[in-house]
């Protein structure tokens, strides 16, 4: 009997362990509306990936638990319950559902759609993207390019010359300087005033806001977080400060934890774990900037679930065993976390296209 009581006590004590939650938002006075938007996309990150991240990092210790507002989105594309990242990101960037594989174009007549990044750029806001994939990969591409098929990567790279993006940090340099058509896109960008750098060091970049820049972190795809890729959190923070200097009208920054998806496709739990740690640190940087700035809305979501991840009973009561049901994407709902001015508009359950509309309504435009 005493043993049972003791066991019960231990269990209840364990359950009652308080998480440090929402201690940030009370301390900060936010503006009524945001001037800046940071949209952080965990590719392939839905509720089970976020759950795994929380238990791996330590409950109460993650950035996810600092958000006062959480919603859910329905990730399906226009004709498929299971979306891909092209249709998924186009829903965020253009506010319309399209068919899988399309980049910034709407089915069935394949009309290019104006993205929020392009529109805000045209309104004089500074714009940037920081990712852990190559520049023409589906998610960043869907904010700046317009192509029928995501595999048209050489053509997608050309679209980077059409929008005066203030900065890009990510991989895929060979799409710009070693092309089958022999065009030197780096040279074209330099002629437009861009500073082009290679590597993961932020030194030598015009972070004072004096020029636009591209920092290529890899010739092809950047390494995995489990192979010691580290740049995403610091790059995100520095780009926030940089974009703030680039325009007093505000900025739009898209940050992608691109490889959460790839880890799930590979059903690789160690890779997924490293990517979630990296993405959590990145969100932390965005939140710290938002707290200092007071006029920044931070949105964190995924484009879809990947791997059919389940958190099953683990080797001990405090550990889970991640089990993958598939090597493909699934149709599970995806959580949306919002922080800062007008965060409350992201409450509820809605289509992925609403994220686009909610960003505009938060800004007070349209
Ligand atoms: Mg992606
Ligand atoms: Zn995927």
pLDDT-derived band at 10, boundaries 50, 70, 90: very low
pLDDT-derived band at 232, boundaries 50, 70, 90: very high
**Whole-angstrom distance, CA of residue 306 vs CA of residue 243:** 32
Closest ligand to Cα 302: 1
pTM attached to this predicted model:
0.93
Q: Residues of 256-270 as b/e, b for ≥16 C-beta within 10 angstroms?
A: bbbbbbbbbbbbbbe
Give the position of tokens 């750029």. Answer: 121
Closest ligand to Cα 86: 1
Burial (CB count within 10 angstroms: exposed 0-12, middle 13-18, buried 19+), residue 231: buried
Domain-located, residue 7? no
Domain-located, residue 118? yes
Closest ligand to Cα 266: 2
**Whole-angstrom distance, CA of residue 261 vs CA of residue 277:** 14
Beta strands in 94-164 (DSSP E): 105-106, 111-112, 126-134
- β-pairing, 348-351 vs 69-74, is parallel
Domain-located, residue 26? no
- DSSP state for residue 217 in the 8-state scheme: S
Q: Ligand 1 is a single-atom ion; what residues have CB below 5 A from it?
A: 43, 85, 139, 258
pLDDT at 39: 99
Which CATH number is 326's domain given?
3.40.720.10
Domain-located, residue 1? no
Residue 303 structural domain: 31-250+272-363
Domain-located, residue 23? no
How far, in Å, is the centroid of ligand 2 from the Cα of 224? 15
Domain-located, residue 8? no
pLDDT at 353: 98
How far, in Å, is the centroid of ligand 1 from the Cα of 134? 9
**Whole-angstrom distance, CA of residue 125 vs CA of residue 242:** 12
How far, in Å, is the centroid of ligand 1 from the Cα of 258? 5
Give the position of tokens 């991989």. Answer: 171
How far, in Å, is the centroid of ligand 1 from the Cα of 313? 30
- DSSP state for residue 308 in the 8-state scheme: -
Q: Which DSSP helix (H) or strand (E) runs through 71?
A: strand 69-74
pLDDT at 5: 52
Is residue 308 over pLDDT 90?
yes
Choosing from 48, 51, 85, 247, the catalytic residue is: 85
pLDDT at 19: 41
Domain-located, residue 99? yes
Cβ-contact 37, 297 below 8 angstroms: yes
Query: How many domains, the chain?
Result: 1
**Whole-angstrom distance, CA of residue 247 vs CA of residue 288:** 20
How far, in Å, is the centroid of ligand 2 from the Cα of 303? 9
Give catalytic status of residue 85 as yes or no: yes
Domain-located, residue 265? no
pLDDT-derived band at 28, boundaries 50, 70, 90: confident
How far, in Å, is the centroid of ligand 2 from the Cα of 100? 11
Closest ligand to Cα 88: 1
Longest Cα–Cα distance in the chain? 80
Give the number of other Cβ atoms within 10 Å of residue 28's Cβ: 14
Give the position of tokens 């965005």. Answer: 286
**Whole-angstrom distance, CA of residue 54 vs CA of residue 65:** 8
Coil, strand or helix: which one is 84?
coil
* Residue among 285, 253, 282, 259 nearest 272 (CA): 259
């Amino acid at each position: 009997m005493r043993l049972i009581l003791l066991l019960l006590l231990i269990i209840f004590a364990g359950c009652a362990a308080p998480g440090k939650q929402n201690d940030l938002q009370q301390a900060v006075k936010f503006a009524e509306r945001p001037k800046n938007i940071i949209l952080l996309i965990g590719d392939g990150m839905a509720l089970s990936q976020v759950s795994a991240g929380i238990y791996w990092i330590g409950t109460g210790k993650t950035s996810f638990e600092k958000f006062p507002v959480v919603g859910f989105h329905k990730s399906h594309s226009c004709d498929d319950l299971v979306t891909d990242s092209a249709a998924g990101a186009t829903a965020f960037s253009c506010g319309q559902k399209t068919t899988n594989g399309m980049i910034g174009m709407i089915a069935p007549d394949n009309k290019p759609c104006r993205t929020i990044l392009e529109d805000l750029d045209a309104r004089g806001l500074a714009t940037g993207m920081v990712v852990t994939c190559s520049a023409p990969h589906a998610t960043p591409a869907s904010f700046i390019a317009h192509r029928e098929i995501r595999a048209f990567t050489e053509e997608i790279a050309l679209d980077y010359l059409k929008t005066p993006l203030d900065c890009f940090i990510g991989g895929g340099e060979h799409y710009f300087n070693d092309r089958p058509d022999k065009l030197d896109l780096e040279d074209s960008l330099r002629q437009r005033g861009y500073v082009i750098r290679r590597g993961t060091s932020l030194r030598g970049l015009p972070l004072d806001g004096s020029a636009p820049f591209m920092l290529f972190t890899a010739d092809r795809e950047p390494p995995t977080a489990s192979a010691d890729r580290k740049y995403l959190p610091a790059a995100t923070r520095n780009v926030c400060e940089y974009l703030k200097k680039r325009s007093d009208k505000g900025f739009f920054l898209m940050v992608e934890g691109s490889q959460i998806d790839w880890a799930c496709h590979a059903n690789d739990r160690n890779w997924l774990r490293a990517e979630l740690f990296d993405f959590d640190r990145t969100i932390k940087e965005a939140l710290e900037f938002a707290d200092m700035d007071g006029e920044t809305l931070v949105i964190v979501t995924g484009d879809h679930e990947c791997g059919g991840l389940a958190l099953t009973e683990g080797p001990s009561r405090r550990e889970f065993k991640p089990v993958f049901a598939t090597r493909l994407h699934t149709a599970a709902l995806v959580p949306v976390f919002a922080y800062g001015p007008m965060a409350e508009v992201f409450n509820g359950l809605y289509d992925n296209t609403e994220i686009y509309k909610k960003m505009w309504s938060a800004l007070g435009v349209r």
